[in-house]
Amino acid sequence: GIVFGLIADRFGRVKALMGSILIYSVFTGACGLSQNIMQLAIFRVLLGLGMGGEWATGAALVAETWPSEHRGKALGIMQSSWAIGYALAAAVTALVLPRWGWRGVFFVGVLPALVTFWIRRHVEEPEIWIKSAEEKKRLASRAGLGEIFRRPLLKDTLVTTLMNAGTMFAWWGLFTWIPAYLGLPAEQGGIGLSVVKTSTWIIVMQVGMWLGYVSFGFICDRIGRKKTYIIYLFAAAALVIVYSSVRQNSALLLLGPVVAFFGTGYFSGFGTITAEIFPTRIRASAQGFTYNVGRGLSALAPFTIGALAKGHGLALAFYLTAG
């Protein structure tokens, strides 16, 4: 993802976005051709490079295309595609897996490559990036990733990276383990709801997430980025505490989408905030770094929550994600 940020700043948002989608699609298809676990792991890492690049280049492209008064809405809608894609993936798995097996599911992941043909024909580089590129060329500027580690941007880089790492740690720690928490039998520390093992449950949760993503954009354009971000974070933390304390099945099922609404919606703010903090000449590089370093650090979340749950149970372990 960091590499594609650099490419986007140097060669253009559209080219970098097309490249990241192609890499993601090709190596998703390659996963379906893997013959052993090592090959599958390698292909998964490579598709992850494309996946990380999609966010950084896409966020920069959308942020630079829309005016500030509508930027939050645009990025919220962009971010909401995660929930749509997640729900579609669940539906594809339900339809394809029983008929064509796990390889067929990966082969469906090649289809996004077709989007690059539409992007090439219909999506233009943002005017603000074109002007910035011409200015860099005229002044022979060598602006690069190193600029975000120098004043006056160093503080913003550290704060946004830690902010994203913390929120992504909480998200992966919570939502990775919620299905296990609700689906495991009571004697194993769970609730025993079989519905969470179905694609229907995943789709219902994604509805809450989608609404959270989109609503954040509209609200932050109205009352401000920082205020909206703080409201969503505190609401998510409070709801996680309540969610971990409830034992009634109906309450858990009803609270789930609400937790997803606030516990996911704030991600729409990250793209908006970073887009407006960092200058055009290094915007995609900065977004790629702050997003993907945070994403890498958050990989520890499922293991941390799982280890804590062994000794104290998942309900108590979830309190860590609220912090």
In whole angstroms, how far apart are CA 42 and each of 30, 108, 112?
A: 10, 19, 20
pLDDT tens sequence for the chain (323 residues) = 788 889 999 999 999 999 999 999 999 999 999 999 999 999 998 988 888 888 889 999 999 999 999 999 999 999 998 888 877 887 888 889 889 999 999 999 898 888 888 998 889 999 999 998 888 777 656 667 889 999 899 999 999 999 999 999 999 988 888 877 777 776 666 667 665 555 566 677 788 999 999 999 999 999 999 999 999 999 999 999 998 888 777 777 788 889 999 999 999 999 999 999 999 999 999 999 998 888 888 888 889 988 888 877 777 888 888 87
CATH C-level class of 2-139+151-322: mainly alpha
- pLDDT score recorded for residue 92: 87
Pull the structure tokens for residue 134.
Answer: 């011409």
**Nearest of 205, 309, 191 to residue 262 by alpha carbon:** 205
What's the CA gap between 309 and 112, in Å, rounded? 38
For residues 278 and 229, the answer to whether their CB atoms sit within 8 Å is no
- Length of the chain measured in residues: 323
Question: Which pTM does this prediction carry?
Answer: 0.84
Q: Is 254 helix (H, G, I), strand (E, B) or coil?
A: helix
Q: DSSP assignment, residue 125? A: P
Beta carbons within 8 Å of 191's beta carbon, 6+ residues apart: 181, 182, 183, 184, 247, 249, 252
What's the CA gap between 47 and 43, in Å, rounded? 6
- pLDDT score recorded for residue 190: 66
Q: DSSP assignment, residue 79? A: H
Beta carbons within 8 Å of 145's beta carbon, 6+ residues apart: 2, 5, 6, 282, 285, 286, 289
Pull the structure tokens for residue 207.
Answer: 């509805």
Residue 120 burial (C-beta neighbours within 10 Å; 0-12, 13-18, 19+)? exposed
For residues 203 and 90, the answer to whether their CB atoms sit within 8 Å is yes
Where in the chain are the domains?
2-139+151-322
What's the CA gap between 165 and 238, in Å, rounded? 19
